[in-house]
Amino acid sequence: MPDHPQGLAARYYTDPDIFAVEMDAIFARSWIMVGHQSQVAEPGQVLTAQVGDEGVIVANDNGTITGFYNVCQHRGHQLIPPTGPGGEATSVKGTITCPYHAWTYNLDGSLFHARGEQVGEICIPTVRVENYAGFLFVNLDADAPSLEEWVPGMSAELLAIAPKTPERVLSHRRTHLIDANWKIAVENYNECYHCPNVHKAFTSGVVAPGSFTLESKGRAIHQRAVGPDPEKSGYTRTDEGNDYGAFFTWPTSSIQCYPGQVINTFRWVPLAVDHTLLIREWWFDSPDVSVEQMEVIDLDWDTTVAEDFDIMDSVQIGIRSRGYTPGPLITHPSGIASVHSEDTVPHLHGLLHEALAGRV
């Protein structure tokens, strides 16, 4: 009988204390996608986002992209209260004024004035911002490796099949509250062992049957496939190219390219031990979505994405059961997963154990 790796103990998905440790051990020390360079392309544009349990601001300070915490250094009010679940891009006139007591900050995070009072030099703690094929990632840890060291070569691999990615703009966003731990959502996304049973439209319409693979590369997971014959699948393309690729960055970010350079992203925001916000965004050449593009979005959301919602919620319920014992995970000798194995799941568990070592 083959020696199969076992799944994680249930407490990793249900224990609020472990979730609290993850906020520091993982989300305060990892590269997290927050948006795209097009959202802060002009001086004065700012972008807010949630990174673990912290709010951050990314800003264009006269052509320099900066990042800092979304918190006033006076009494702790959010400088820019988020207006949407996915974080928002907006424009300011060179400074940000706190809505509470009107202390005002420059777009590098330094204090511009405190309503005329002399309070000394004050600056909001900064966060690192780096660019991945046009997408912006932040890291709260000043000592973390660079984004290229975090997921080496992934940006180049994405650009090889989707060279227009840096030029894209946000065209459409949808969100969904998943009643499950963030790791359940990430594991579900990064294995296609369930695809033949659950995602028949994906395995027969988005990718050519038999071509789908997932390869773990350190803190990245690369999904590859060839697009199907559009005359047989009925899947509408919007551009050139016939490659499918998805580029997951540990712990909660993924950039996908559907056949035709259809660029879309997943961001999972952990809200509680059993609640995760999915932010699903689509990036086209224009902010205005065409009828054809909306057909692609609706098809994806109504099939591949929505088909997982009840499944993930059910897994969270089941893992809480006294009757649950983690079972064996199905792997392939090559370590490369297909629709017949789930090699990426134990790989994700290894990354988790590495991050939490000695803390839980």
CATH number of the domain at 101, please.
2.102.10.10
Residue 193 has pLDDT above 70, yes or no: yes
Query: How much of the chain exceeds pLDDT 70, in percent?
Result: 94
**Are 171 and 285 contained in the same domain?**
yes
Mean pLDDT of the chain: 92
In contact, 100 and 72? CB cutoff 8 Å: yes
Q: Mean pLDDT check: name the lowest of 26-40, 155-169, 196-210, 345-359.
A: 196-210
Domain count, the chain: 2
Within 13 Å of residue 128, how many CA atoms lie on the same side as its CB? 16
Residue 155 has pLDDT above 60, yes or no: yes
In contact, 260 and 244? CB cutoff 8 Å: no
Neighbours of 254 (CB within 10 A): 20
Q: Which pairs with CB-CB distance under 8 Å and at least 24 residues apart come from 173-176?
A: 173/86, 173/279, 173/280, 173/281, 173/282, 174/280, 174/297, 174/301, 175/85, 175/86, 175/277, 175/278, 175/279, 175/280, 176/277, 176/278, 176/280, 176/305, 176/309
Q: Mean pLDDT check: name the lowest of 156-160, 169-173, 199-203, 286-290.
A: 199-203
Q: Which residue has the higher pLDDT, 259 or 353?
A: 353
The CATH code of the domain that includes 239 is: 3.90.380.10
Residue 218 has pLDDT above 50, yes or no: yes
Looking at residue 241, what is its pLDDT? 66
Tokens encoding 76: 């702790």
Looking at residue 88, what is its pLDDT? 80
83 inside domain: yes
**Are 127 and 168 contained in the same domain?**
no
In contact, 31 and 139? CB cutoff 8 Å: yes
**Are 86 and 125 contained in the same domain?**
yes
In contact, 32 and 279? CB cutoff 8 Å: no
Position of tokens 């250094």?
Answer: 73
**Are 188 and 322 contained in the same domain?**
yes
**Are 220 and 110 contained in the same domain?**
no
Overall average pLDDT of the 192-202 stretch: 82
**Are 267 and 176 contained in the same domain?**
yes
**Are 213 and 100 contained in the same domain?**
no
Q: What angle do CA 67, 72, 76 make, to 5 degrees?
A: 125
Q: Which residues pair with 58 in a beta bridge?
A: 47, 67
In contact, 225 and 257? CB cutoff 8 Å: no
248 inside domain: yes
Alpha carbon 188 to its chain's center: 14
From the number of C-beta atoms within 10 Å of its C-beta (0-12, 13-18, 19+), residue 93 rates as exposed
Looking at residue 234, what is its pLDDT? 46
For 337, which DSSP code? Answer: B
Residue 209 has pLDDT above 80, yes or no: no
Q: For residue 75, what are the contacts with CB-CB under 8 A and spacing of at least 6? A: 100, 101
Fill in the amino acid letter for 155: S
145 inside domain: no
149 inside domain: no
Looking at residue 211, what is its pLDDT? 82
Looking at residue 227, what is its pLDDT? 74
Domain range for residue 58? 32-134
**Are 310 and 351 contained in the same domain?**
yes
User: Is residue 3 very low, low, confident or very high in pLDDT (cuts 50, 70, 90)?
Assistant: confident
Overall average pLDDT of the 273-280 stretch: 98
Q: What angle do CA 66, 76, 28 make, to 5 degrees?
A: 55
14 inside domain: no
SS3 184: helix
Looking at residue 235, what is its pLDDT? 46
Looking at residue 230, what is its pLDDT? 57
CA-to-CA separations, 267 to 49, 74, 184, in angstroms, rounded: 11, 31, 14
Query: Of 114, 134, 154, which closes a domain?
Result: 134
Overall average pLDDT of the 160-170 stretch: 96
Give CA–CA dist 96/10, Å, rounded. 44
155 inside domain: no
Query: Of 118, 134, 150, which closes a domain?
Result: 134
Q: Which residue has the higher pLDDT, 334 or 83?
A: 334
For 25, which DSSP code? Answer: I
**Are 121 and 263 contained in the same domain?**
no
Strands 89-91 and 64-69: unpaired
77 inside domain: yes
**Are 122 and 207 contained in the same domain?**
no
Overall average pLDDT of the 335-349 stretch: 92
Looking at residue 229, what is its pLDDT? 63
Overall average pLDDT of the 79-97 stretch: 87
CA-to-CA separations, 78 to 27, 52, 83, 140, 307, in angstroms, rounded: 20, 16, 12, 17, 36
**Are 128 and 171 contained in the same domain?**
no
User: Is residue 240 very low, low, confident or very high in pLDDT (cuts 50, 70, 90)?
Assistant: low
Give CA–CA dist 170/89, Å, rounded. 10
Looking at residue 170, what is its pLDDT? 97
105 inside domain: yes
User: Is residue 203 very low, low, confident or very high in pLDDT (cuts 50, 70, 90)?
Assistant: low
pLDDT, tens only, 20-54: 999 999 999 999 999 999 999 999 999 999 999 99
From the number of C-beta atoms within 10 Å of its C-beta (0-12, 13-18, 19+), residue 91 rates as exposed
**Are 117 and 238 contained in the same domain?**
no
